[in-house]
Amino acid sequence: MNGLAQRGATVAFGEYGLKALESGKITSRQIEAARVAINRKVKRGGKLWIRIFPDFPFTKKAAETRMGKGKGNPEGFVARIFPGRILFEIAGIDETLAKEALENAAKKLPLKTKVVSVEKIG
């Protein structure tokens, strides 16, 4: 997977976002773990947007299976991520708490990320 994110590369809904710096795949379990990490830090304050969705199925053959005999069964779903994509956005809380919450979420993800904020106009 190469190239940059063509869409979803700017903070559109919230004030702070978590931006991917490299490409990769994020499973639905990893997305949920990051969401839980953010909500634990924020404690019912602010609003959270999840900007990615795991819509790509991946398959896996059973252990100790001989070669051939077709493709394995669907095992789960992943979201394909390109550099520059905003993964999560948060609004309604102060800057230090938002950055801490997004950094906690970044620890749950297999990609390098950074916290970005919306550019204030005016």
Whether residue 20 contacts residue 114, with contact meaning beta carbons closer than 8 Å, is answered with no
Whether residue 31 contacts residue 106, with contact meaning beta carbons closer than 8 Å, is answered with no
CB-CB neighbours of 59 under 10 Å: 11
Write down the domain spans for the chain. Answer: 16-59+73-117
pLDDT of residue 113: 96
- Identify the band that residue 119 occupies on the pLDDT scale cut at 50, 70 and 90: confident
Distance CA 11, CA 25 (A): 21
| Averaged confidence pLDDT in the chain | 92
pLDDT tops 90 at residue 86: yes
Amino acid symbol at 114: K
The SS3 call for residue 62 is coil
Whether residue 16 contacts residue 115, with contact meaning beta carbons closer than 8 Å, is answered with yes
pLDDT above 70 covers what percent of the chain?
Answer: 98
- Sheet arrangement for strand 47-50: 47-50, 86-91, 16-20, 113-117
Q: What is the fold of 16-59+73-117?
A: Aldehyde Oxidoreductase; domain 3 (3.90.1170)
Distance CA 32, CA 35 (A): 5
pTM of the model as a whole: 0.88
- Identify the band that residue 118 occupies on the pLDDT scale cut at 50, 70 and 90: confident
